[in-house]
Amino acid sequence: MARIEAQPGVQSAAYIGYLPLNLNRNSSLIYAEGQPFTRRADLPEILTGAVWPRYFETMGIALLEGREFTMQDDKEESRVAIVNESFARRFFPDRSAIGKRLSQGGPDRPFWEIVGVVKDSKYWSIGEAPQPFVHFPLARDYDGSVALVVRTTGDPRSLIGAIRHEVRQLDASLPVYDAKTMSEHLRLSLFPLRTGAWVAGGFALLALLLAGLGLYGVMSYAVSQRTRELGIRMALGAQRGDVLRLVMRQALALALAGLTLGLAGALVLTRLMRSVLVGVSATDAVTFTSVTLLLAVVVLLACYVPARRATKVDPMIALRCE
């Protein structure tokens, strides 16, 4: 760890039992001191993990209260734990969690003192709701399989070779595998969401195509029903531009009403999608503006073609139509 932290461009580094968002779930039956206890099976199952000192600093997880783990927490009698804000809010809603105790399995098991509270983060998947989590000191309990996380000031990929070299210098037989940036690591967690997005996007494009075809068909039928009226207007001196504006104006009035109702419905329904949105809000102005403009273009094209055809109506033929 000292060799890696001494590398140029490294801000901090730490170990963790398993990386978050790795579709790997580790949990324990947690008893918070002072809570009612009947039997072990009734205890809540809480996500847990073991981390190294400076892990929260490396991952950018804010420490809200108390302290992080230190290398002095490596002794067997050092039973300390760090919980997230959801855990503190659930089990100690009206007082600070610092100094309180918890155990794995019930009040008859060894207790761990809570020394810190950190901000909630994502543990299982990007779209998960905030949930309680307990961190234990990895320095105290050895784990032969760990992940190394490194926070850098520049391109993280440029340091992978240097990190491999330092590991080989210590033990050439120690395997280092699956070295990648956090962005690359997130691809696995985001795969189900991206797959769903592609499927939803495909259906959305199909819906847009059907809406355009439907609008074109309705406008064509509406224009054909007004052939006699348009012929009379042109026979009385109306210009083609006048007829085009007349048809477009009425078509766009209906389209505007539809877009308004659609936007209102979208603003309501997208609030139900907040849990699966990443990096964008449910009322993102850019998304709503771009989609509205796209639909407006489709509406204009679907209305323009029938309206353009209406301007080519021969007044004499139109007047002879029944």
> How confident is the model over 271-321, as pLDDT tens digits?
777 766 666 777 888 888 888 888 778 777 777 777 777 777 666 665 565
- What is the domain count for the chain? 2
Mark whether 268 and 290 lie in a shared domain.
yes
**Confidence bin at 121 (pLDDT 50/70/90):** very high
Residue where a domain terminates, one of 138, 163, 179: 179
Residues 192 and 264 in one domain: yes
Range of the domain at 14: 2-179
Residues 234 and 199 in one domain: yes
Whether residues 97 and 218 fall in one domain: no
Q: Are residues 170 and 195 in the same domain?
A: no
Tokens of 319: 């007047």
Task: Mention every residue, 6+ apart, whose C-beta is less than 8 A from residue 97.
Answer: 65, 83, 87, 88, 91, 114, 117
- Residue 311 has which token pair? 């301007």
Which among 180, 151, 153 has a CA at the least distance from the CA of 9? 153
> Same domain, yes or no, for 11 and 102?
yes
Query: 98 with 235, same domain?
Result: no
Residue 25: strand, helix, or coil? coil
Residues 140 and 203 in one domain: no
Domain boundary among 157, 179, 201: 179
Q: Whats the size of the chain, residue-wise?
A: 322
- On the question of pLDDT at 85 being above 90, the answer is yes
Predicted TM-score (pTM) of this structure: 0.65
Q: Are residues 31 and 159 in the same domain?
A: yes
Identify the domain boundary among 179, 197, 214: 179
Domain shared by 196 and 316, yes or no: yes
Average pLDDT of the chain?
85
